[in-house]
Amino acid sequence: MAKKASVERNRKRERLAQRYAAKREQLKAIARDQELPVEERFAAQLKLAALPRNSAVTRVRNRCEITGRPRGFYRKLRMSRIALRELASQGMVPGMVKSSW
């Protein structure tokens, strides 16, 4: 099983990313707008940098829904390769058969 602290930390990052998503997007739009004066764009970049670091979407790690494992993650299934293999062995994944020879 995964470490509880890292899973909780990732959930906290997800919540922060959702909470600050609109504000981050607004500040990014101001910083990218070439029509605005340089001072205003720079002020937007400073405000963006002042937001919590973990509120960025890129800080959220994809983790297995079953085990919390961060590596070998299948996005479509939202689980790790190991959890997928175990479920396939038990016949719990429709259309998938784990074979061995």
37 vs 89 pLDDT, higher one: 37
Q: How far is CA 53 from CA 16, 49, 59, 82, 100, in A?
A: 9, 8, 8, 31, 46
How many angstroms separate the CA atoms of 17 and 59, rounded? 9
pTM: 0.77
Per residue in 6-33, pLDDT (tens digit) is 999 999 999 999 999 999 999 999 999 9
How many Cα atoms within 13 Å fall on the side-chain side of residue 97?
3
